[in-house]
Structure formats: C-alpha cells, structure tokens
Amino acid sequence: MDTTKTFVDRENQEQEIGSLKSIRDYYISGITRPYAFRMQRLLALKNIVLKYEKEISLALYSDLKKSPEETYAAETGLVLADINLALKNLHQWMRPRKTATNLVNFRSSSTIYQDPKGVVLIISPWNYPFQLLFIPLVGAIAAGNCVVLKPSELSPATASIMEKIIKEIFPPEYIRIIPGDGSVIVHALINSFRFDHIFYTGSIPVGKIIYKMAAEALIPVTLELGGKSPAVVEKDANIRIAARRIAEGKFINAGQTCVAPDYLLVHEKLRDKFMGELNRTIRNFFGENPAVSQSYGKIISEKRFDVLTSYLSEGRIVHGGQHDRSALFIAPTIMDNISTDSVLMKEEIFGPILPVFSFTNMQEALDIIQLNPNPLSFYVFTADPAKEKAWIAKLPFGNGCVNNAAWQFANHHLPFGGIGNSGIGAYHGRFSFDIFSHAKPVMKTYSWPDLNIKYPPFTGKLKWFKLFMR
C-alpha cells in the first residue's frame, strides 16, 4: 500500500470538504437559476457522455464485466434518455403554474413556482455506478441546484471516468465530485456542511444512518434502498414469457440489481413445467458455461462473493451453483427446499441466486411476502385481469410490473422509488426535477374588495365563515 498516496488523497479530500462554502456562494449568486444556464449544462453533459461512451463502457466492464450492450441498455442509454427528456421539457417544468383559489380568498390568484433546493448531495452505489449517479444529477441540474457527488469506491474504474467527466465540463464551485471511502467521506460531508437535500441510493442499513444524520439538521432526503422483491407466477401465466422475463430481470448484472426478483412464488399446478422452462431459458441466455458468456457479469468483490456463496447451503440447488472466487463468478442459481426462517429469506440477496417457493392460493403466497413487507418491487405473471388487480390492491410495494420484471426502471414516465423500508421519495424524468425543486406557493390578493367580514370583531360572523369556507 502506498501510504504517501493515501495521505495525499486524504488531505485532498479534506480540502474538498472544507471548501464547500464556495459552492454555497456560487448558488447564492443566482447563476444556476436561468433557463439558458440549465440548458447549456444539460447539453454539455450529454455531449461529454457521448464523447466518453467507449471509456465508460470499458470502465463498467472492468468493474462488473458488463458488455457494451448491457452498459448502453442499463447505464449510458438511460442517462442520455433522461437528459433528452429534460432538454425537451425543461421550459414547461420551470414555468410557474396557476392553480385555483378558494372562495374565502375571493379576488386572489394562486401560483406555484418551482425553486431550486440549493446545494444537494448525491450518493451512489456500485452496482449501476454510472446511471445511479448521473440520472439524479440530471434532475438536480435541471432544477437549478449546485451539486456534490459521491460515487462508490467499490467500482473504481467507473468512479475514475465519472470524475474525469465532471471535472472536464463543470467548475468545482458548481458540480463537485469527491471520490474515496464512503464511510469516512459521507460522514464528514454531512457533519461539516448543511446540504439542502440528500439523495442516497444503496443499502437499507446505510440508508438508516444517513437518514438519522440528515434528521439532526432537518435535511430532506430521498432514499432509494432495496428489499426482497417477490415475483408471483400464477397458474394461468404464459410459462415461456414468465421464464424469459424473470431470468433476464434476475440475472442481468449477475443479480446485483435492486429491482431484481429476489425470490419466486410459483403456483403449485404450474411449478414443474415452469421450472423446466426456467432452466432451459438460463442455458439459452448464458450457455452451458456462463463463466465465459459475454452476456453475464461478475460479482463486485470477494467480500460479496463470500456472502453469496454462504447462501448456497441454505437449501437445495436445482440449477447452477458453480462458483469461482478467483474470477468472482457465481453461476445463475435456482434453489428450493428453503426455510422461510433462513438467512436467505431474511436478507436481500443481491446476487444470482433465486429461491423458489410453491403456493396453492393467494393467501398462502401473501403470508410469505408479508415476512418481508414493503418490497421495493413486485412482479406478477398472470393472464387474468381480475388476479392482476387483486395482487396490486393487496400489496404495498414501491413499483412493479405485470408480466414483466425490472424494466419499469427504464420508463422515465413512471416515478421510481420505494415505500417503507424500501425507500423514501421517487425520481426519474419529471419526477427527478420535482425531487430537487421546492414547490413555492404564492397567493396574490387584490386591493378591492376589502371585506370587513375577515376582520375583528368576529361576533355574529360565524354563519358567514361556514358559508364561505365550505
């Protein structure tokens, strides 16, 4: 270990954190508020993402073995789509919005203005390190904020290219990126500077720590967390479609996806046929040896590898199970005969291991789901609209799909976020702009008429209050 470099890096980080006042001054100057400024910065971000598209892809391959196709579909393409949406709609998003006024405020007009929140902190994880930092950044820029970015140190190649991109086009008093050990830097940032909003994507335990720290200073937060997201396969489901879409949603990025199906609930009458189709689908997707597949990723670290392989003793492996620590490889794995009290069913798996349970009626499946309530995502596969509506009505969940899995994340017309333990707040597209904006209501009242009924003394006016305030 190069202790000199470590000391220099730590000293630079301390200087970065200590100079955050310059960002506050830049924001207060008002330079980030005009429409033209925001549009120019969004366009600059789009152009540089396109400029470094190949380097971004190489970095993601280095960190997670993502193919160029997967990188575009799940990382750069999503960022570019959000930028394009903002460029097209920003003028409308920024426009003050007239709204109704009640009778008690007769001869007043009401308007909602969209104000930037100020200086915001965005903290991203390692599993989709590019898009989970840059999509919130797009919303923050569009809303007129200054931003401090903290990428994950666990995906160092991607963190490095993102730092290069940010420093090339943005002055540090406007957008600043601070790499390094999150457990040290995030604490230092929040303890030394009052941000106007904190946006965090990551694990539930760390989310709770950040929420607590933010609460001390009454800082609003968006927490995009995780949880155990179930997928239900009803007895009338299209077996081939369900197998293909569940396998893709689960095993993209080697299962290291917050919206991946965490476990399956398959109707007993469909189980054997479905399991056969799921096994065939996995072989069709990744071949007989997924270790050499260009469409299959790797585990992020030896620490995560060890946690994931420890799960393999929690039940019976019915498909896959092969692993190689030196290559950070774990094959797509299906398991059954698992206890609902096992560690595998108490922790978010976040890897390529898929437990399967059977059920004979909805209540039986609901009882298993309620062991881990408020999942981030929920997926149901059925051809019956009545069953579809019943599942959606019965379960609280952050977001979900009918006859699909994980792809709701790519639809920027839908808000993305959790509920309860799986998160607070939602973003994507217009919703990202809203999360980084303050809706500032203003009521303008005209001088005439100035009715005496509003003023003391109030004796005898109760009937009029009841009339006007209905």
Provide the annotated active-site residues.
Answer: 224, 258
DSSP 36-101: HHHHHHHHHHHHHHHHTHHHHHHHHHHHH---HHHHIIIIIHHHHHHHHHHHHHHHHHHS-EEE--
Inter-residue contact 159 to 179 (CB < 8 Å): yes
Q: CA 188 → CA 16, 182, 224, 390, distances in Å? A: 11, 9, 21, 47
Tell me whether strands 437-445 and 108-116 are parallel, antiparallel or unpaired: antiparallel
Q: Nearest CA to 65 among 324, 297, 275, 247?
A: 297
Q: Nearest CA to 119 among 181, 26, 182, 242?
A: 26
Q: CA 406 → CA 107, 268, 392, distances in Å? A: 50, 24, 16
Q: Nearest CA to 173 among 42, 342, 21, 70?
A: 21
- Residue 22 CB contacts under 8 Å (≥ 6 apart), including other chains: 172, 173
- The two three-digit tokens of residue 171, written as one number: 């002055």
Torsion, Cα 77 81 83 88, to 10 degrees, reads 160
Q: CA 263 → CA 271, 303, 373, 377, 418, distances in Å? A: 14, 22, 13, 11, 18
d(CA 222, CA 122): 9
Q: How buried is 441 (Cβ within 10 angstroms: 0-12 exposed, 13-18 middle, 19+ buried)?
A: exposed
- Using only the alpha carbons of the chain, give its radius of gyration: 25
Q: In degrees rounded to 5, what are phi and psi of residue 265?
A: -125, 110
Sign of the four-CA dihedral 69, 70, 72, 78: positive
- The two three-digit tokens of residue 462, written as one number: 């109760």
Per-residue DSSP letter, 25: H
d(CA 272, CA 230): 19
E strand residue ranges, 196-310: 197-201, 221-224, 230-233, 263-267
